[in-house]
Homo-oligomer: A and B are copies of this chain.
Amino acid sequence: VRTIRLLIQYDGTEFVGWQRQESGTSIQSVIEDALARIEGGAVTVHGAGRTDAGVHAAGQVASARLTTPLDDETLARALNANLPTAVRVFELVTVADDFHARFSARSKTYEYRIWNGAAVPPFIRHFVWHVPQPLAVELMQRAADALVGEHDFAAFQGTGRTVHTTVRAVISARWTEHALWLPPPGGGSSSGRSTSGRLLVFEMRGEGFLRHMVRAVAGTLVEIGLGRRNADEMPRILASRDRSQAGRTAPPCGLCLMKVEY
């Protein structure tokens, strides 16, 4: 028996999320099923982040215990051959037996993407939230600054999961503007700047996250960027510990798990 660590990307559009569900196809189930075909028996895969339905991952990490004699590289190739193209394994290595993708994780980085323009470029439509109105990004950054550090994030917690504590440590939270790999008309081919719109990316790194936390934060920051809320009210929202005081949960398609650190 050996323990393997997997580095995985997925387009979460067509999945019910990471975790295996009663009905619908989950990322975990397609990976477990593919490994089971290779292993010749049931395999349990643990993911670092239990991403929701429609959420993507550019750097999800998972672990599993296997008995197959295949070497790591052959196993990675066999696994990809048994997975849908929406899910790809980019790295597969044998690690120490005490490694557990979820419990060993020390920090995670998520990105939330917004297309801020009249029309969304078709090539990124499944990976962004469309906000057509002008956004005051400097105000959104000022509000995000108040989240850094250890806080009780109960006001930004979705329902449906029980946790011991709603205190979480946020390491960084920042807005940047990214270039598009297929720019819209009006943009320089590499600058990404365009008269048609801009791709705003909110990167949030933390030791841990509550359910829906990044999406609730992104939704609240957008309300601030639209001028519907004051940029200074973040400390008050945090102190309230009341979900109804924060903004709406941003849609899942804009969210992507970028990196897990150990």
User: A residues engaging B (CB < 8 A)?
Assistant: 7, 9-11, 56, 58-59, 76-77, 80, 85-91, 118-125, 127, 178-186, 189, 196, 199, 256, 258
A80 CB contact (under 8 Å) in B119, B182, B184: B119
* Interface pair B179/A90, CB less than 8 Å apart: no
Interface centre among A77, A119, A182 (most CB of B within 10 A): A182
What are 21 residue pairs bridging A and B, where the CB atoms are less than 8 Å apart in the complex? A9-B185, A11-B125, A56-B123, A58-B123, A58-B182, A58-B184, A58-B185, A59-B185, A77-B118, A80-B119, A85-B120, A85-B122, A86-B122, A87-B122, A88-B119, A88-B122, A90-B196, A124-B181, A178-B181, A179-B181, A181-B181
Which 7 A-B pairs give the minimum distances between C-beta atoms? A181-B181, A11-B122, A88-B119, A90-B185, A7-B185, A86-B122, A90-B196
Q: Whole-angstrom distance from the CB of A132 to the nearest CB of chain B? A: 10
Chain B residue at minimal CB-CB distance from A89: B119
Q: Whole-angstrom distance from the CB of A4 to the nearest CB of chain B? A: 15
CA distance A60 to B7 in the complex (A): 37
Interface centre among A7, A11, A86, A88 (most CB of B within 10 A): A88
User: How many copies, total?
Assistant: 2
Q: Whole-angstrom distance from the CB of A34 to the nearest CB of chain B? A: 13
Point out the residues of chain B lying under 8 angstroms from A123, CB to CB.
Answer: 9, 11, 56, 58, 127
CA distance A234 to B113 in the complex (A): 44
* Interface pair B182/A122, CB less than 8 Å apart: no
A179 CB contact (under 8 Å) in B7, B179, B186: B179
CA distance A186 to B259 in the complex (A): 11
Point out the residues of chain B lying under 8 angstroms from A58, CB to CB.
Answer: 121, 123, 182-185
Q: Whole-angstrom distance from the CB of A125 to the nearest CB of chain B? A: 5
Point out the residues of chain B lying under 8 angstroms from A185, CB to CB.
Answer: 7, 9, 58-59, 90-91
Point out the residues of chain B lying under 8 angstroms from A182, CB to CB.
Answer: 9, 56, 58, 127, 256
* A181-B180, A181-B181 known; A91-B122 Cβ under 8 A: no
Chain B residue at minimal CB-CB distance from A85: B125
Interface centre among A80, A119, A120, A199 (most CB of B within 10 A): A119
